[in-house]
Structures are given as structure tokens and as C-alpha cells.
Amino acid sequence: MRPAVQCHRFLFGVERQQVLDDAGTSGKGAEEIKWRLQLLLQVAEEWQLLLSWSALFSGVSPGSLADDDVLNDQLRVLSRHERLAAECVMALEDKRDKSISFTQMVIEEDSMRNGRGLSDQWADSVVVRPRTTERHITVHRRLVLGFAISILGLIIVTIIAVLLSVKFEECANEGSNRMGNITVHPGARLNQSTESLSSNPSHSKTAGKPWTQLRLPSSLKPYHYELNITAFMDNFTFTGEVSIWMRCVNSTKYIVLHADKLPVEGVTVANSSDRLGIRRYFLYPQNQVLVIMLTRELNALKRYTVRIRYSANIADELLGFFRSSYLANGERNFLAVTQFSPTHARKTFPCFDEPVYKATFKITIKHQEPYLALSNMPVVAVIHEEEGWVTKLFAETPRMSTYYLAWAICNFTFKDTVTESGITVRLYARPDAIQRGSGDYALNITKRLLEFYEDYFNVSYSLPKLDLLAVPKYPYAAMENWGLSVFVEQRILLDPGVSSIPYLLDVTMVVVHEICHQWFGDLVTPIWWEDVWLKEGFAHYFEYVGTDYLYPDFNMEKQRFLTDNLHEVLLLDGLASSHPISQEVLQAADIDRVFDWIAYKKGAALIRMVANFMGQHIFQIGLQDFLTEHMYGNAGRNDLWNKLTEVISVGNRAGLIDDAFNLARAGYLPQNIPLEIIRYLYKEKEFLPWHAASNVLLYLDKLVDRNKEYNIFSQYILQQVAPAYNLLGWPEDAANSSVVQAPYQTEELRRKVIILACKFGIALCHEKTMMLLSEWMASDHNRIPPNVRDIAYCTGISLMDDNVWEFILSKYQSSTAVSEKKILLEALACSKNIFLLNRLLNLSLNSQLVPDQNTIDVIVHVAKYPNGRDLAWKFFRDKWAVLNSRYGEALFMNSRLIKGVTEFLSTEAELKELKEFIKNLGEGTDASFAQATEIVEANVRWHGLLEEELFQWLRKSLNS
């Protein structure tokens, strides 16, 4: 009977005795009480509904409204009333006529507990409304009076809610973040709970709620991140602060970005002049996003910064920022590493975690010794702090997608090597594995593969280093993070004495696959996950092409591809569950699903078929053009098909030019044929044929630039270049334009034409460069467009007096921009003054003025020009001992230096000097010297047999 006794405490004036009396009446009296309780429950539900709607319209969560004492009391009363009403009904059921079946009672009681509506069951049990007695009239009057009071209360609550909303807006406009911090998680629950309130057949659930969509809204575009991570390896936690610079594309009051289970501790939003008010912010777990509601709109075409502080655990799962361990000498050693692909960067820092939102990143990691930290880029600064803490600042990355960002904190050791183009390659692993040499094989083939891909794609590897990290636990065989590729140990470590050929082949193909991704994936990234085959299909195809490069006898692409890939994918593709290589991604669960063997193997089979149809050479040119056009950006399948379709004709023209000049240089074609072919260039509108022509003409120029009749060669080239130069001209001044003033192909075409025009002496080109340099010297304001500064600097120095050389040197010494310093230094080599060139060569050995890694650049650039070629060759021989002493036996730029200094030596005397120099070095000389000897011998042979043939044709052609 306890629930029946408690009923007297109900609202609206129902006295204890009346309730008890009613409880003891006949079944019809009980039905009357149930009817009244139903009414009370409906009133209570309406109060709750009103509060939810008030919160929804005002933007304040129920928890925030409840800060008011009156509202708190009302909410508590309502909650209690709902519970007591339910208890009363169950108590009354106990008092019902015994003729009511036990089964019916259980059903009704179960319905109450499950929150289902009571009205239907009550309606079923009520047969006839009881006759109204005097006592019932009294109860009804009190009920009506109570109901009237409830209506008045509803009005009062509404007014209070509106006032609180207005007050909240005023606080938000003052820039307070307090309420935002309070409602991070309640705000997320509010959006979940109110979703059903706003839904109806004629109104979309997602209207006005961009955070409910799978894709992020396109109103904001991030362009730079600065991320600071402090890792506590003793308790596997970390704190983070990320600052994101964004461009506003369309006006919006919402910032929606990804964050998955990250406890956010503070948010600020600012523009260049002040902070913006934050109404509130909250996590929306369904789509793993953080929503920041602002008090006023972000304006289109303006730039803003959002700064977010948070903390989290270094996870025990193999995604996001997670921990791993290994045993060494009986002790457990820990490390922490990231795995962000495809959608797990958001587990570690708030970000725009979609492939298309590329940006630059600056990473700072703070950790304790003796750990070391790695990331995509090299360390640029190290700060040692108290209690063994170390802060490492990493160089800024190129534009890249969030899921290729990476870092690791470990106590590994490494071995390293350097490619011919100067890329440092390191393999990090457990100290015992490094000591055993288990990583040597992967390290060595990575060096060779980088060189192979640079040559095949005709696109340089974009970063200064590539680290390979072998970890004990990892969710995949490997991950191609740009500059820091991570491998599970079993797929990269190899012990030659005990490893089988299949194991060696497996390691090889995994490494080949991941290095290919540095171009197809990292450099050029699919726009969206539906085209994941654009990176995985290519990487899988090149597993066979790259392995053939390393082991030609394996015949992988022609034979093993058929049995290992094609036959298997035909079997898969015959199943009813198969699908096209491009799949729609409509929900988050679809993203992981697209990484299947259809994307990898069917994608690879399609690519191989296209390559065989087009021919390997044309296909290669198409890939080069595709990568060049979309580098540091995104591309879809149509971009690839359009480029391959286009390149069949454009590539043929470029290939024809390149083949003709190379065959003529080798003596297989008459010398006039390539020069006849380029007569059509004046009407060529595409970049690729001009690019091919520029390469071969500048090479031929170096062979003939010391000929006494050089002027007739340059005059002929000018005739072919002048129409294009007159059409394209120079880009806009730097002060009035962005870095890229026109589409990439147009800018690069213009650049190639300007290089040739200034190199071969078009007067207007010379006048332009001298005018730009003179203006800079007079005003100290450089308005030379960045894309052609190297051309202007070099041409101006070669034409103007020594004061320009001194001016450029002073600018080199004072500049802090790395890219600008590089072209200023290289331009100094363009002088025709032998004294200045000797001075530059000697300065190059001064480490205080020229960084050690740039010394070789100076020597090679001096050797490119006729006035400096003899000087550089002599300097190289005279200073060989100094260079060797400075860089050690493994001179990291050895091959490039040797090639650059000797490539255009072409006389019998120079060949003799080269051979004597090599002989004096003794045994064990670099293999590059043998290659250099072959090249110089070919140059001497061309001069002796074919040079005169070329000039005879030129004289005849110009005279006619």
C-alpha cells in the first residue's frame, strides 16, 4: 500500500483522504483516478517538452536553464511527479477488482516501466465514465484549479527561459567561454535528444544543422595548422593545443571540424584584430565532430584562427596516437606512434579530417629523455628544459592531408643513407635489430627506389628526408605517412642468413608499395574515399614494376602479376558481391569498406591494361603530367582519364622532340632533323612539348656554347621562341598578384618560354630583367614575380655591372627566406666576371656564409656557364681533399657534384685531365667517375664527328 499512501503528495490539491477513499472504491472509481493521473502525466510531459523547446530556441541546454533556482525546483517537482504518477497507477492496479487477470496487470505494469504511453491501455480498460458525484465534482474543481495553475506556471517558465536566453546572448557577446566549456558534453546530448523534436515528415532533420551531415560543410578551408603535443609516457596521456588558420568561403556562424572523443578544455576564435564571441561548443559523437557556435557570422573571404586545448590518453588500441612496447634485455620498453589513415587523426587532434582539406603543418612535440621524437619533417630546433623534458620543433610540411601527418616517440636507434639527389633515408628500429643489420636490406632498396621513382615520374621527392620506422605492433603491414613511413617489424626487418626468398620478396613489395605512395597518395591525394584506388591501385601495380627494377630476372610485371593479381581479381570480380573500383561513400562505415582487394588488385589490373594499351612510354609521360599538374593537391578519376587521353597526342609531340635530339646526339639521326622538328613550336600551346624542347635545347646549348659560331645557333633558337614570348610575356608584378597568377600549366609554359628567351638573347626579355633589377636596387622593394625571380636575377647579373652582383650577395646575406636565399646564391654563378666567380667558389667553403649542404650547389651552378666551367673544374680538382675531408668518404652529394662539374666537358684536353685525376685518386673511387668518363667521351666524340654538321646546316638555314 506504500505507493497508494504516497499519492496524497501529488500536485493540484488532491488531498490524502480523497486519494485513499478513491483507492478503496469500486473498479470504476479506480478508473476515474487513473484518468486523472493520466492527465497529470500529460501535463508533466508538456512541461518537459516546453523546457526542451525553450532550450532549443534559445540555444541554452536544459542543464544551463536549470542554473536558475526556480527552474531547478520545477524540474525536480516534474521528475518526482512523473515517478509518483506511475507508482500510483501500479498501486491502484493492486486494488482493482480481483476479476482483473494477472496477465493484464503484468502487461500494464511492464508498459509503465518501459516508458510506453499509458493512454491506450487506460482507454482499453475504461468502459463507461463514472457518474459524477458531489465528491467527484469537488475533486474535479480542484483538478481544474490545479490545471489552471499549471498553465500559469508554463507561461512563467517560458518568460524566464526567454530572459535567460537574452542574458546568455549578452554574456556570449562579451566573449565569455564559460558557458561553452560547461556545455561541451551536455550540448552534444541536447542535439541528440532534440533531434526527434524537430523531425516531421515535411521538415528535414538536418536542416540548419551542418554537423549532422557525413561531409564537413564547405564554408571553411584550413590552410595551416600549428600543433603542440606534450606526451607523458609514464602514464600514457598527452595534452594538445592546435591552432588552425582558415579561410571563410561562405558566411557562417558555425565552425564544424572533426574531433573523436577528445575532452576539449578551451576554445578561442579570432581574426586579425580581435576575438569572436563563442555561444557554446559541443561534441556530436555520431559524426565525430566538434561544433563551435559563434555569436556572429564569420565573413566570406576573411581569414580566422581557431585555437583548441584538449587532453587525452595515448591509446591502447592501434589507431590514432597509440602505445606499443617490446622487451629488451628483460625490460619492457614503450613507444608511442600514430596511425591516422583513413579517419583517425580526429582521435588525436581536432582537425578538418577529410582528404581534400590540405594544409601545411608545424608540429612541436614535448617529451622526456631518453626518448626521441620523429615526425614528417626534420627537427629544426631542440629546447632542453628542466627535469629531463625536451621540446622538438619540426620544419613546416608542404600542403598535405591530415591522415598523412605522423609522429612517433621511441628510444630506437637508426642507420641511414643518402640518395643521389641528397635525400636522407633513415631506418629506425629496436637497437638490437639495428645492431644485427636487420634493417639494412630495406634501407638500401629504399634509396634505390626513391631514385627510380624520381626518374620514372620525373618529379623529385618533395621532402628533405624519409624515415622508415619498424614498430612491434601496427594495425597494417605499413602506412605511407609522408616522410615517416611506419611498418610492422615483420614486413620490413630481414635477416639475410635466415630469411627465405618468399619472405624477401614480401618485404620488397611492401617497401616498393609504400615508397610509390610518396607520389600517388602523399603528393597527389584522391579527392574523396570513393577513388581510393587512385592511390592503392597504382601502388599495387608498381609493386611489380618497382620489383622488376630491383630484380629484372624476377619478371614480376609480365608473369607474376598474372598469377598473383589478375587471376585472383577475376575470381573476385565474378562474385555477386563485387563492385566497381570507384564506390560511393554515403556514410562513415563505408570509408573502411572501400579499402578492399577490388580497389587494390582490380585497380592495379585496370592500370596495367591502360599502360599496355597506350604503350609504356606514353603512359609514363601521362603519369608525369598528371602528377605535375596535381602535385600538393587532390585529384579524381576523371582527372586521370582526361590527362591520359590528352597525353596520347601531347605526349607524342613531347616524346618525338626528346627522341629526335637524343638520337641525333648519339649519331643515329642527321643533326638537322631535331632542329627541323622544333620549327612548329611557335604554334604549340601545351606545356609538355615546350618542357621537352627546353630540356634538350639547354643541354645542346652547353655542348656548343664555347663554339666560335655560337651566335648562329642562338639566333636560330630565337626565331622559334620569339612568337611564344611575344604572346605570353611576363607574369604580373608580385605586388599585384598572388604566387600563382594563372593555372599551373600556363605559368610553367610561360616560365619555360622566358627561360629560353632570356638565355638566347631576346632583347625585350633582357630589357625587362634589367628594369626590374634596377627598380629593386633603387627602391629596395622587390616586385619581381616569385615564379621568375631566378631567371631575372641570373639574367641581370650576366648583363649588368659588378654592382648588381654585390647587391645580390648582400640580399643573400640578409634574407631569412630559405627559398629566396637559394635562388640568390645560385644567381651569383651567372656572372661573366672570372674574378667574381672565383670569389664565389672560395666563399662557398665558408660555412658561416654558405651552409655545408649548399656548397655543392654553388660549384655545380658555376660549372653550368661557359665562363665558369673551367674554373669549377679546376676548383673541384684543387679542393677535392677539402671536400672529401669535410663530407667524409660517403660524400652525400658525390654523384651530383661529379656529374655537375664534368657533364659538359667536351675537349680532348678535358677528357685527359679527367682520366688523370681519377687515376691519381687510386682504387676505390666513386662509381660516378666511371659514368662521368663515359659522358665526356661521348661529348668529345660528338664534337669531333657531328658538331660541324650541325653548324653547316645552321649557316645554310639562316642564309636561306
Asked if residue 241 belongs to a known ligand binding site, the reply is no
Phi and psi of 580, rounded to 5°? -65, 160
**Rounded to whole angstroms, what are the CA distances from 771 to 16, 65, 456, 756, 767?**
102, 69, 40, 19, 6
Segment 187-192 long-range contacts (CB within 8 Å, at least 24 positions apart): 187/61, 187/280, 187/281, 187/282, 187/283, 187/291, 188/282, 188/283, 188/284, 188/285, 189/61, 190/55, 190/56, 190/61, 190/62, 190/282, 191/282, 191/284, 191/291, 192/286
Whether 514 is a known active-site residue: answer: yes
C-alpha cell at 67: 542554473
Whether the link from the prior residue into 689 is cis, omega within 30° of 0, is: no
Distance CA(439)–CA(490), nearest Å, equals 11
Taking a C-beta distance cutoff of 8 angstroms, is the pair 233, 368 a contact? yes
Q: What is the H or E stretch that residue 226 is in?
A: strand 220-232
Are the C-beta atoms of residues 324 and 335 closer than 8 Å to each other? yes
203 is in an annotated binding site: no
Contacts 24+ apart (CB under 8 A), 739-747: 739/786, 739/787, 740/787, 741/785, 744/628, 744/629, 745/629, 745/686, 745/687, 746/687, 747/787
CA-closest candidate to residue 534, choices 453, 462, 623, 425: 623
Task: Tell me which residue of 667, 660, 659, 657 sits closest to 947, measured CA to CA.
Answer: 667
Distance between CA atoms of residues 104 and 230, nearest Å: 62
> Length of the chain in residues, anyone?
960
| List of residues 6+ apart from 696 with CB closer than 8 A | 657, 658, 661, 662, 674
CA gap 212, 191 in Å, rounded? 10
- Give the Cβ contact number of residue 791 at 10 Å: 23
> Is residue 335 within 8 Å of residue 411, measured between CB atoms?
yes
Rounded Cα distance between 148 and 142, Å, is 10
Rounded-to-integer distance, Cα 687 and Cα 676, Å:
20
What distance in Å separates the CA atoms of residue 156 and residue 700, rounded to the nearest whole number?
90
Which of 816, 818, 812 has its CA nearest to residue 793? Answer: 812
* Cβ neighbours around 752 below 10 Å, total: 21
Amino acid code (one letter) for 434: I
- Orientation of helix 533-550 relative to helix 603-614, angle to 10°: 60
Residues with Cβ < 8 Å from 280, sequence gap 6 or more? 59, 61, 172, 179, 180, 183, 187, 293
d(CA 68, CA 788) in angstroms, rounded, equals: 66
Cα separation, 960 vs 952, in Å, equals 12
Q: Rounded to an integer, what distance in angstroms lies between the CA atom of residue 171 and that of residue 175?
A: 7
Which grid cell sits at 942?
660528338
Residue 109: helix, strand or coil by DSSP? helix
Choice among 480, 514, 684, 747 that is catalytic: 514
Q: Which has the closest alpha carbon to 375: 388, 356, 361? A: 361
Cα(64)–Cα(168) distance, integer angstroms: 10
Determine how many CB atoms are found less than 10 A away from the CB of residue 505: 16
Omega cis (within 30) before 526: no
Specify the amino acid at residue 798.
Answer: S
Rounded CA-CA distance 8/76 in Å is 18
* Residues contributing to the annotated binding site for Zn(2+): 513, 517, 536
Give the residue numbers annotated as catalytic, written as ranges.
Answer: 514
